[in-house]
């Protein structure tokens, strides 16, 4: 065993024939956001299995009657709005000073839902569905459809450059000068580079209907559906890092049918089928605990038990 081989093993370096993929621009941006989230936010996660049998049946009726394309995602996003109205501290941004152990909670006026969408290369990035606190189901569905239409007209890399510049300025204003310059330098020079300085500052022709940097900035709350990734996979999110400065994330998985025993009108044991939806609730523990989440869960249960209300949405 020579010294070079010894050092390669010590560093867990790639061997000959291994395929190496360096982070591209999208992966660098999303990776930075997620790592900062895990470093700074103490995140408990609660998963509960919601019986949505009646709720889903009512959704199917509404979908046939409403006269516009209505997805289950859109309906759950509207349900999230109802939950946040009774649990407003979850629709907030939290600023915290680790050195002084002090901070402040900013309860937001508008509900801006960060909805992850898929980009080239399998990277997901959140896009905001803005100010939906007073919008109807149809208005939310139309807004999401418009976002997806505008996404096709958007120069995503150019938009991410603008977003990076904004965040780098924000980091430096917070005193993170060394790490900021290290990130900038590694983006331009060496094997981890993703662009050139000219690309950062070059003038870009933007489609007037494209998404803006504001559409990619942090929302007030995050909503994600892992069920859209693989319809055949059943499970739930066991952990979801919050995107700073958000304090709450709601995630849903695939609906699953579960058989259960019950007594029928004759008093005999029979077998029925329920539709169950795993719902994941992740929140910033610095809020004070699970007490802030309980009103939202109770609101969900109320709607699941009396789903006729969705026709008024």
Q: Give the CA distances from residue 207 to residues 3, 21, 59, 119, 267, in Å, rounded to whole numbers and listed in that order.
A: 56, 31, 37, 19, 67
| Alpha carbon separation from 159 to 26, 57, 149, 156, 243 (Å, rounded) | 10, 41, 16, 5, 19
User: Residue 174: is its pLDDT beyond 80?
Assistant: no
User: Lowest-confidence range among 30-34, 60-64, 122-126?
Assistant: 30-34
Mean pLDDT of the region 108-119: 86
- C-alpha 143/C-alpha 251 separation (Å) is 20
User: How sure is the predictor about 24, in pLDDT bands with cuts at 50, 70 and 90?
Assistant: low
265: Cβ contacts below 8 Å, ≥ 6 apart: none
Please tell me what DSSP assigns to residue 12: T
Q: Is the pLDDT of residue 283 over 80?
A: yes
Q: What is the mean pLDDT of the chain?
A: 78
Helix axes 72-86, 53-65, angle to 10 degrees: 120
Determine the pLDDT at residue 131: 92
Percent of the chain having pLDDT more than 90? 30
In the prediction, which pLDDT does 155 show? Answer: 76
Per-residue pLDDT at 38 exceeds 70: no
pLDDT in tens, 79-92: 999 999 999 999 99
Higher-pLDDT residue of 56, 168: 56
Q: What confidence score (pLDDT) does residue 60 get?
A: 95
User: If you average pLDDT over residues 301-310, what whole number do you get?
Assistant: 95
Q: Is the pLDDT of residue 188 over 80?
A: no
What is the pLDDT at residue 18? 63
- Per-residue pLDDT for 291 more than 80? yes
Identify the pLDDT of residue 135: 95
In this prediction, residue 256 carries a pLDDT of 87
Q: What is the pLDDT of residue 204?
A: 60
pLDDT in tens, 121-134: 666 778 889 999 99
199-217 pLDDT per residue, tens: 655 666 676 777 777 777 7
Q: Residue 183, Cα to own-chain centre: how many angstroms?
A: 24
* Global pTM value: 0.77
- In this predicted structure, the answer to whether residue 41 has a pLDDT above a threshold of 60 is yes
- Which tops the pLDDT comparison, 105 or 311? 311
Does residue 263 have a pLDDT over 70? Answer: yes
Closest to 121 (Cα-Cα) out of 191, 30, 43: 30
């Amino acid at each position: 065993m020579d010294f070079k081989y010894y050092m390669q093993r010590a560093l867990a370096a790639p061997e000959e024939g291994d395929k190496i993929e360096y982070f591209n621009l999208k992966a660098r941006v999303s990776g930075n956001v997620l790592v900062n989230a895990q470093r700074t936010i103490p995140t408990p996660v609660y998963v509960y299995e919601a019986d949505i049998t009646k709720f889903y049946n009512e959704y199917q009726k509404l979908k046939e009657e409403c006269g516009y394309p209505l997805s289950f995602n859109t309906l759950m996003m509207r349900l999230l709005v109802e939950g946040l109205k009774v649990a407003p501290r979850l629709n907030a941004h939290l600023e915290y000073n680790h050195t002084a152990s002090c901070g402040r909670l900013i309860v937001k006026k508008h509900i801006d839902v960060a909805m992850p969408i898929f980009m080239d290369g399998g990277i997901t990035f959140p896009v905001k569905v803005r100010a939906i606190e007073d919008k109807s189901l149809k208005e939310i569905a139309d807004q999401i459809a418009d976002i997806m239409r505008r996404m096709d007209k958007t120069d995503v890399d150019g938009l991410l450059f603008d977003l990076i510049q904004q965040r780098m300025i924000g980091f430096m204003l917070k005193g993170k000068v060394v790490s900021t310059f290290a990130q900038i330098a590694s983006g331009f020079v060496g094997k981890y580079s993703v662009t050139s300085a000219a690309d950062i500052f070059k003038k870009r022709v933007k489609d007037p209907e494209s998404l803006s940097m504001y559409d990619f900035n942090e929302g007030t709350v995050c909503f994600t559906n892992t069920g859209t990734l693989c319809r055949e996979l059943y499970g739930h999110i066991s952990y979801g890092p919050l995107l700073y400065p958000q304090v709450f994330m709601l995630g849903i998985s695939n609906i699953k049918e579960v058989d259960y025993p019950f007594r029928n009108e004759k008093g005999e044991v029979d077998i029925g089928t329920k539709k169950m939806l795993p719902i994941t609730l992740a929140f910033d523990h610095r809020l004070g605990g699970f007490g802030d989440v309980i009103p939202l869960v109770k609101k969900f249960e109320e709607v699941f038990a009396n789903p006729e209300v969705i026709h008024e949405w």
